[in-house]
Amino acid sequence: MNRAVLLLRRRLLLHQSFGVRWFSSSSTSETRLIRNIGLVAHIDAGKTTTTERMLYYSGLTASMGEVHEGDTVMDWMAAERERGISITSAAAAIAWRRHRLNLLDTPGHVDFTFEVERSLSVLDGAIVILDGSAGVQAQTLKVWLQADRYQLPRLLYLNKMDKAGASVEGCLESVRRRLSVETVLQLQLPIFNEEEGGRGGGSSGNNHQLLGLIDLVTGRLFQWPADHRLSEDGKRFNVEALLETENGEIEGGSKTEAFLEPSTRARLTERLLTGRERLIGQLADADEALAETVVLSDHSADHLAAHLPPPTLHAAIRRCTLARRAVPLLLGSSYRNIGVQPLLDAVVHYLPSPLEATRARAVREAAKKMMAKVGGGEEEEALCALAFKSTTDRRLGPLTYLRLYAGRLPVTGQTSVVNVSRGAEMQSSSVEKITRVYRPFADHFADLGKEQQQQQQHSNSSSSSSSFFVSLGDIVVVSGLNSVRTGDTLLAEGAVSKQQQSSNLQQVPFAGIDVPEPVYYCALEAPSLSKMRQLETALEQLTREDPSFQVVLADGEGSVSGSKDRGAASANQIVVKGMGELHIEVGGGGVLGGNRR
Ligand SMILES: Nc1nc2c(ncn2[C@@H]2O[C@H](COP(=O)(O)OP(=O)(O)OP(=O)(O)O)[C@@H](O)[C@H]2O)c(=O)[nH]1
Ligand SMILES: [Mg+2]
């Protein structure tokens, strides 16, 4: 392991209790506290930069990674660091406000669209990031439509608000026009230095320096000190309440007493009230319960803007977001460390738990119905999981990423599962054993079974190890499933009768991932026949890990492994299909190096 990787490891603060404190025998109480969220956007909008801040502010990392420094946790592959772009979706779990956020940082480049697709297929909500100076771009539209297909509630985050050309109005206009979103709920106003009058900010002579945000829901101003040492890289910021409303706790706020000049305070409060009045009007149009509150209140719009309590607005925004009647919009500059904590708060407040997500609920119901039909006689709700990614870790071997749609998964012992998508194909048996369960942190995996045993030894607990489970709705990585491929559905062995295990079962409705058709082809030639087998094995692994990468023999026959009977002229030729030149180049990596023509 090289020095840079060791340093990176040190930055990751995987304290032992992180995973274990989430287990219990209750199947749904933890599920309510889970948010499975993807960051999706056009290339370079700032997904990885934002995710790095999320890891840091949640306490998972001791320092922040930067894409241009090549030291991020999420862009961990050598090719990602060299090129400064994300190539695979990286997963990491963080704790925020007593919730667990399973984050998937997806790539924005069009060639890696399958990474977005497989991520969205298992998520319950998304943060769509825009470059505040560019608005909606080609790939923004693409990921938006993908999220529509999976019925995902989402937040919009206008990043890069520090750039000179950034404009909230311009972005709002392009969101309405290009994404056809009727109701965008702007929840914050940006504060730039030309209007700043407090003592906490700095002045650089640059007229477009983003200093902070006004939160229209809670009526507070958040201001980040310009000196990043004072702000501990954005961890600490000043908070001033502009309205006399009941507010909840503030995560990361360091100073809550008044720090603004009276005239600045009056001007910002005026802006807040105008924004709040507009927000309440939009919510009253989109949400019946809030409309009723407004109608019954007997107060003027001005009065309501100043006095409507934040929890009433929170609840209305949440209802509208979950029902996909509206999309909340937040602002910031992740690179300048401004706005990420309020974005995390918004994830907890407005995006659904697995119990509330439309698609996840439908899959769970369908899985329960299917298990009732093929019944192995399990009384409790049995495990149903979707495999959405396979990878090979140098240390741990083949790993499978799972999203649990029904039941729960023990973290110790072995769990036998039936691969219902591949029952007929698998010659010996469709049953495989999950041997270990991990929580992913990009390319690092925390063994939950080991953590649980250590914790038990520590506390001298007498409770049986089998009472620790990964909850319904969670996302984990497991080992032991060597035949499982992306998109396969797994059911607990006990939920499927012996007879049914060897027959061809149907997929659980809604669980599955669409693989896009390849659009770019290239021919490969092994340098010699003896190298051919090596090349085929490497390509086999590649297609298993990335199904949008296909391999066809030059004579047009089937898969790599079916390559026996070829004419002498094409004996060492293979056609590789992918989503674009970059996909083939990085997907092949060392495997294809120099062989492309
Ligand atoms: N000025 C400014 N630059 C930013 C901001 N956020 C990110 N960047 C820069 O934008 C570039 C791209 O950032 P990334 O975080 O890699 O973007 P991404 O969306 O993850 O990119 P892909 O994964 O490759 O699609 C980097 O150079 C960042 O430093 C911001 O708020 N302001
Ligand atoms: Mg990225």
Q: Residue 503 is part of a domain; what is its CATH number?
A: 2.40.30.10
| pTM beyond cutoff 0.75 | yes
> Within this chain, do residues 502 and 368 fall inside the same structural domain, yes or no?
yes
pLDDT of residue 186: 98
CA–CA gap between residue 480 and residue 340 (Å, rounded): 37
Give the CATH number, domain containing residue 245.
3.40.50.300
> Within this chain, do residues 420 and 387 fall inside the same structural domain, yes or no?
yes
Q: For strands 220-223 and 210-215, give the pairing.
A: antiparallel
Please report which helix (H) or strand (E) contains residue 552, including its range: strand 550-553
Is residue 4 situated within a structural domain?
no
> Within this chain, do residues 154 and 184 fall inside the same structural domain, yes or no?
yes
pLDDT level of residue 128 (50, 70, 90 thresholds)? very high
Higher pLDDT among residues 293 and 249, named by residue: 293
Answer whether 187's CB lies under 8 Å from 217's CB. yes
pLDDT tens string 326-342: 999 999 999 999 999 99
Q: Is the CB of 44 under 6 A from ligand 1?
A: yes
Residue 35 burial (CB count, 10 A) = 24
Is residue 12 situated within a structural domain?
no
pLDDT of residue 19: 45
> Within this chain, do residues 445 and 531 fall inside the same structural domain, yes or no?
no
Helix (H, G, I), strand (E, B) or coil at 161: coil
Is residue 21 situated within a structural domain?
no
Burial (0-12, 13-18, 19+ Cβ within 10 Å), 159: buried
Higher pLDDT among residues 351 and 534, named by residue: 351
Residue among 67, 159, 162, 337 whose CB has most ligand 1 atoms within 8 A, to mutate = 67
Does 206 score more than 60 pLDDT? no
Instruction: Work out the average pLDDT over 176-180.
Output: 94
Token digits for 372? 């009732």
pLDDT level of residue 160 (50, 70, 90 thresholds)? very high
Answer whether 315's CB lies under 8 Å from 350's CB. no
Is residue 311 situated within a structural domain?
yes
CA–CA gap between residue 213 and residue 239 (Å, rounded): 10
Instruction: Work out the average pLDDT over 499-505.
Output: 63
| DSSP-assigned beta bridge partners for residue 192 | 210
Does 380 score more than 60 pLDDT? yes
Q: For strands 444-447 and 436-441, give the pairing.
A: antiparallel
> Within this chain, do residues 303 and 386 fall inside the same structural domain, yes or no?
no
The number of the ligand 1 atom at minimal distance from the alpha carbon of 52 is: 15
pLDDT of residue 252: 53
Task: Identify the weakest region by mean pLDDT among 129-143, 263-277, 518-532, 551-565.
Answer: 551-565
> Within this chain, do residues 339 and 426 fall inside the same structural domain, yes or no?
no
Q: Is the CB of 8 under 6 A from ligand 1?
A: no
Q: List the domain range (segments joined by +) for residue 484.
A: 359-507
343 alpha carbon, closest ligand = 1
CA–CA gap between residue 111 and residue 578 (Å, rounded): 8
Higher pLDDT among residues 465 and 195, named by residue: 195
> Within this chain, do residues 434 and 347 fall inside the same structural domain, yes or no?
no
> Based on the structure, what is the number of domains in the chain?
3
Instruction: Work out the average pLDDT over 370-380.
Output: 72
Does 463 score more than 60 pLDDT? no
Residue 423 identity (one-letter amino acid): G
Residue among 142, 335, 336 whose CB has most ligand 1 atoms within 8 A, to mutate = 335
pLDDT of residue 247: 54
Token digits for 54? 């999320």
The CA–CA distances, whole Å, from 204 to 192, 395, 579 equal 11, 49, 45
Token digits for 364? 């769970």
- Indicate the DSSP class of residue 596: B
Domain boundary among 297, 319, 353: 353
pLDDT of residue 145: 96
> Within this chain, do residues 141 and 83 fall inside the same structural domain, yes or no?
yes
pLDDT level of residue 98 (50, 70, 90 thresholds)? very high
Does 532 score more than 50 pLDDT? yes
Instruction: Work out the average pLDDT over 341-365.
Output: 96
| DSSP-assigned beta bridge partners for residue 212 | 191, 223
> Within this chain, do residues 120 and 249 fall inside the same structural domain, yes or no?
yes
Cα(87) to ligand 1 centroid in Å equals 14
Domain boundary among 507, 538, 558: 507
Question: Angle between the 262-286 and 310-322 helix axes, to the nearest 10 degrees?
Answer: 40
pLDDT of residue 569: 42
Query: Among 75, 78, 56, 64, which Cα is nearest to 115's?
Result: 75
pLDDT of residue 551: 86
pLDDT of residue 202: 38
Domain boundary among 332, 353, 374: 353
Task: Identify the weakest region by mean pLDDT among 76-85, 361-370, 556-565.
Answer: 556-565
Looking at ligand 1, which residue's alpha carbon is closest to its atom 32? 160
pLDDT of residue 371: 81
Q: Is the CB of 55 under 6 A from ligand 1?
A: no
Is residue 216 situated within a structural domain?
yes
Contacts by 53-57 with C-beta closer than 8 Å and gap 24+?
Answer: 53/234, 53/334, 53/337, 53/340, 54/94, 54/96, 54/101, 54/103, 54/340, 54/344, 55/92, 55/94, 56/233, 56/235, 57/234, 57/235, 57/252, 57/340, 57/341, 57/344
pLDDT of residue 591: 57
In 135-257, the DSSP E strands lie at 154-159, 184-186, 188-192, 210-215, 220-223, 237-241, 253-255
Q: Is the CB of 335 under 6 A from ligand 1?
A: yes
Is residue 177 situated within a structural domain?
yes
Answer whether 138's CB lies under 8 Å from 74's CB. no
Is residue 18 situated within a structural domain?
no
Is residue 390 situated within a structural domain?
yes
Cα(129) to ligand 2 centroid in Å equals 11
Q: Is the CB of 333 under 6 A from ligand 1?
A: yes
Does 423 score more than 70 pLDDT? no
Q: What is the mean pLDDT of the chain?
A: 84
Query: Among 30, 40, 160, which Cα is nearest to 103's?
Result: 40
> Within this chain, do residues 375 and 477 fall inside the same structural domain, yes or no?
yes
Helix (H, G, I), strand (E, B) or coil at 265: helix
> Within this chain, do residues 572 and 491 fall inside the same structural domain, yes or no?
no
> Within this chain, do residues 241 and 108 fall inside the same structural domain, yes or no?
yes
Does 558 score more than 90 pLDDT? no
Helix (H, G, I), strand (E, B) or coil at 146: helix
